[in-house]
Chain A
Amino acid sequence: MSLDASIRLTLGPLDLDMAITVEEGEVVALLGPNGAGKTTLLRAIAGLAPFSSGHVRLDGKVLEDSSTRQYVPTERRPIGFVFQDYLLFPHLTVQDNVAFGLRSRGVPRQVAAERASRWLDRVGLKDYSRARPAELSGGQRQRVALARALAPDPRLLLLDEPLAALDATTRADVRRDLKRHLESFEGIRLVVTHDPLEAVALADRLVVMENGHLVQTGTAADVTEHPRSQYVADLVGVNLLRGEAAHGSVKLASGQVVAAAGAELGAVFVVVHPRAVAVHRTHPEGSPRNVWSGRASSIELMGNRVRVRIDGAVPLVAEVTPAALRELNLVEGGEVWLSFKATDVGVYPA
């Protein structure tokens, strides 16, 4: 019992080529920067975006297949779709919005109304059943959208940036409710988000996509420990380098060699945590084998740490304490040396 989609399409600047599977019992978050094609992929799965080749199968049944020209129209797919700005019908009451899917699927008016009002009760909006969407707050609208998508009892629940339209103060509350509803939904769940926090909070597994292509997939821990793209590395906040390993060292594309204790053979990613990078004004003495000079191109205070971006033969971000920064007497544009230990370098196959 699963969703299995493989989709290729071109839409304006987007060249999408993605395969994704979601098993029953897991919540998958599709994570990626804006313009990566996440929403387009979701729309293609729902049958709302035509694709040039590929297939969408749900529980083994074909919903769409370009090779056999099969196409089940959106309205006959057992899906629930929560849109980014919810798209609640402005001319219908909250209850009629929630009942819409049931009525569309032939449920008698009375039964649909009862089930809709039960759903409104479940999302805590029983008192708003006669209200219009415009009278609700953002968080309330999100809950109505969720109830509307869930009321017809879909097999597949698709959520497109479910929290993006909310302000920061309500987001945490709504996220907690959403997580609870996702957990109690017995079907296949796929959430699109550009917010790593949201992805980690809601999902069991992350699928990271960039520029229409899969970058990596795995649990939150997998992904944060082994970033496979600059985008993920930036989200996690680590330095990511790429090169060819040769027993204890990694040769970067720039020709520089990084000493890395764990390096064996083959193409690898190299991760260096900014906290492991030491900053000096003069060539450091002692044991570190990874030493480069550079120029501090930006200095930013992040919480109680200072992130120093150093441009040079090996561009890296270092994280130091404000006290250390004062001691270094460092300003933007200043010449520095950076160093890190071979044992502080993470290496994994590319």
Chain B
Amino acid sequence: MRQERVPIVIVVPAAIGAAFFIVPLVGLIVRSPWGDAVTALSAPETFEALKLSLIASLSATAVAVVLGVPLAWVYARVAFPGRDLLRALTTLPMVLPPVVGGIALLLAFGRSGLLGAWLENTFGITLPFTTVGVVMAETFVAMPFLILTVEAGLRSMDRRYEEAARALGASRWRVFIRVTLPLIGPSLFAGAVLCWARALGEFGATITFAGNFPGVTQTMPLAVYLLLPQEASFILSLVLLLVSLVVLVGLKDRWLGSA
């Protein structure tokens, strides 16, 4: 079969565009001190950071699912004044510089913050510079991805299935659990994975709100940053890269649609 000729004016910028992404990745692989890889990876700080990253990002994803799915449901199903504004506010962290998000979190939940002071004085709860703070920072930045994906799924699903379930005697809760959630399963899955990937790579809000304490708030991206002059940071970067790549490739079929 004859392949249609691809215009050169498109191929050249396309190739440059691809190279822009690939060259840095190649650099990372080529320049990494592979000899020291075992040492770098087996260092207890690395293990701590990786463990914390996984725990915090999975926790953030869990929180995002528990709070974000109902929020998405409200956006998709309840018409109320100010809905668009509220949606904009809750998805703002997608475009906000994460550092700004971290500062905002500090002003709200910091020890002298809006709610933080009250939490501290009443319950003795301190959030900033704790592992919980890491989860909060990651949730703040990552949850919008889940909200938007799930809302889109809710809007595009055939709501008559919910009516069919109600006509069969199912309570609103049962309809939600047994019909709505399974039907938006692919959107929920995609949203959760996107959210998790974003949480895993979170840096700015985390370092601002939670600080950089090894074993408590030092996640992988922070560890990479801290190690930066040293070549060991390259190895940690590769680990993050690998994890992200696996997620993206795994998502391709479900979310991006396979070509």
A residues within 8 Å of B by Cβ? 43, 46, 48, 73-77, 79-81, 83, 87, 89-91, 100-101, 104-105, 148-149, 152
Contacts and interface: CB of A to CB of B under 8 A. Distances in A.
13 contacts: A43-B163, A73-B166, A76-B169, A77-B167, A87-B164, A89-B165, A91-B183, A100-B168, A101-B170, A104-B170, A104-B171, A104-B174, A152-B168
A90 B182 CA distance: 9
Contact of A104 (B163, B165, B185): B165
A90 B186 CA distance: 13
A105 B169 contact: yes
B218 to A, nearest CB: 42
Interface of B is mostly: helix
Nearest to A74: B166
B221 to A, nearest CB: 37
A48 B168 CA distance: 12
Contact of A79 (B167, B172, B185): B167
Contacts of A79: 167
A46 B167 contact: yes
Interface in B142-193: 158, 160-161, 163-172, 174-175, 178-179, 182-183, 185
Max chain A Cβ within 10 angstroms of own Cβ: one of B160, B168, B170, B171: B168
A83 B164 contact: yes
3 nearest CB pairs, A to B = A101-B168, A81-B167, A104-B170
Given A75-B170, A81-B167, A89-B165, 16 more contacts: A43-B163, A48-B166, A75-B169, A75-B172, A76-B169, A81-B168, A83-B163, A83-B164, A87-B161, A89-B179, A89-B182, A90-B183, A101-B168, A104-B169, A104-B170, A148-B168
B169 A48 contact: no
A128 B190 CA distance: 32
Contacts, number: 60
B168 A104 contact: yes
Given A87-B160, A87-B161, A75 B182 contact: no
Contacts of A105: 169
Q: Is the interface of A mostly helix, strand, loop or mixed?
A: mixed
Contact of B167 (A48, A89, A90, A91): A48
Contacts of B167: 46, 48, 74-75, 77, 79-81, 149
Interface residues of B, number: 20
Nearest to A100: B168
B161 A89 contact: yes
Contacts of B163: 43, 48, 74, 83, 87
B161 A101 contact: no
A91 B185 contact: yes
B102 to A, nearest CB: 40
B183 A101 contact: no
A81 B161 CA distance: 12
A100 B167 CA distance: 11
Nearest to A46: B167
A187 to B, nearest CB: 15
A43 B160 CA distance: 11
A89 to B, nearest CB: 6
Contact of B166 (A75, A89, A152): A75
B169 A152 contact: yes
A152 to B, nearest CB: 6
A149 B168 CA distance: 7
A331 B238 CA distance: 84
Contacts of B174: 104
Nearest to A88: B164
A45 to B, nearest CB: 11
A90 B165 CA distance: 12
Contacts of B158: 87
A77 B166 CA distance: 9
A74 B167 CA distance: 6
A81 B185 CA distance: 26
Contacts of B171: 75, 104
Contacts of A149: 167-168
Nearest to A98: B168
A46 B166 CA distance: 10
Contacts of A46: 167
Nearest to B161: A87
Contacts of B165: 89, 100, 104
A48 B175 CA distance: 14
A80 B165 CA distance: 11
A104 B163 CA distance: 13
Nearest to B163: A48
Contacts of B170: 75, 100-101, 104
Contacts of A77: 167
